[in-house]
Structure 1
Amino acid sequence: MKSFIVPILALALITATSCNIDKKGKTELPEVDVDVESGNLPEFDVDWADVDVSTATRTVEVPKVIVVMEEEEVEVPTIDIDMPNEDKYEQELVVDAEVEGVEHDIEIKEIRATNKRLYVIATLEELETDLGDKKMRVQDQVSLNAPDLDVKYIIVGKKPNRIYNNRNMYVTSMDNLPANVKDATVIYKR
């Protein structure tokens, strides 16, 4: 029982010493009678500790899911674009999505061009294999040897509910492509 009383007394002492109490006005208990007369209850101004909220950097343990990427040799389509008076360089056009629920497949179907802009159009399809509570990234790519061009990625399919997928435009079908994309010249088709 003594070990229980000591922490309570310590807590009461800390609480009593961590704030300032200034009595204001006259302290007098009201008189109690059959007829209750008004009294003068004490007023107190309690100044407690100043509290500041901020952030600090700390090292903590957080769970991480590790995805192992393996390199494999695969056939990747290569597109070569020559433009007058323009130097060209090799780059990879990579379209990807982060999915959950079931496995998905993503595939670049077309690349369209207008002026100095390319539209990389891919399809995202749900497969049957259940992922459980895991997430997965799927991708496809095409090699491009061309001058510096502005590249926009459009994915035809249902947009997965992941923040990572906000980088690309999603449309439900090829019929829903914006007019400027529909009017662009198809330079690659799979």
Structure 2
Amino acid sequence: MNMRFIPILTLLFVLTAACEVDQTQEGELPEVDVDIDTEAGQAPEYDVEWADVDVTTTTRMVEVPKVTVEMVEEEVEVPVLDVDWPQDYGEPEETTFMVEADVDQEAALEIEEIYTTGQRMVVLARLEKAGEMLQNGQMLRVSDQVVVNAPDMDVRYYIIGDRPEGISNTRYRYISDRSEIADVLSNGRSIYTK
């Protein structure tokens, strides 16, 4: 077999591996005479049936969050911490640590403490639901923030309280009380306490 036909046969095999192929005519290689007279050859012919794929849609009832958040600007006092970091921590810059939750009743969310372990910042907040339930599936977003001049390091957020329903409330780890992370806090130093 002529070596030039091997890549062509390999390509045909790859292209036809995922479909049904019926050969409709035999192939024939050209005849070669020693004195270089040739007769025309004939390439094989194929009928190719590709996989039949139908794409449709259907209607299903699924639960989707419908949250209306009205953003308004208000003047509030935000704690700002100016921490004197050791030089080997790197250059500190103003960083905002923020926690927020979408709740279906009146609630308060406050950052209680911020710890540093040297390689990580730990932000500990508390969510207290203490109000009336909102009507018609309405949601309320509660939040708190503290500004710290801090070097670039890993930040972990913990919220003491029950996790509210909803996909938007999965960004933070919710714990029942601070004893769940006592080992993390024991290795750190508090730089903020409310």
Give the TM-score band, short-chain normalised: 0.5 to 0.7
- Paired position in structure 1 for 2:185: 181
After superposition, the C-alpha distances for 1:110-132 in whole angstroms (9 at most, x for unaligned) are: 00110221100000001222212
Paired residue for 2:113? 110
Paired-residue identity, %: 41
CA-to-aligned-CA distance 1:150-189 (integer Å, 9 cap, x gap): 1111000011121111111110012222512343211110
Q: What CA deviation, in whole Å up to 9, does each residue of 1:82-133 have, x standing for no partner? A: 2314212112110111112x21110000001102211000000012222122
**In structure 2, how many angstroms separate the alpha carbons of the residues matched to 1:143 and 1:159?**
25
Q: Does 1:168 align with 2:153?
A: no
Say what the alpha-carbon RMSD is for the aligned residues: 2.2
Q: Structure 2, unaligned stretches of length 5 or more?
A: 1-51, 58-64
TM-score calculated relative to the size of structure 1? 0.64
* Aligned-partner Cα distance in 1 for 2:180–2:150: 28
Deviation at 1:66, TM superposition (A): 3.8
Instruction: Show CA shifts across 1:30-84 (max 9, x none).
Output: xxxxxxxxxxxxxxxxxxxx661267xxxxxxx9654221111211111123231
What does residue 82 of structure 2 align with? 80
Q: Distance in 1 between matches of 2:103 and 2:186?
A: 27
Question: 1:83 touches 1:147 (CA, 8 Å); kept in 2?
Answer: no
User: Would you identify which runs of 4 or more consecutive aligned residues in structure 1 move more than 4 Å?
Assistant: none
Number of aligned positions between the proteins = 134
CA contact (8 A) 2:68 2:139 kept: no
Alignment of structure 1 residues 109-188 onto 2, 5 Å: 109-132=112-135, 133-188=137-192
For 2:175 and 2:182, locate their aligned partners in 1 and report how far apart those are by CA, in whole Å.
9
Structure 1 stretches lacking a partner, 5+ long: 1-49, 56-62
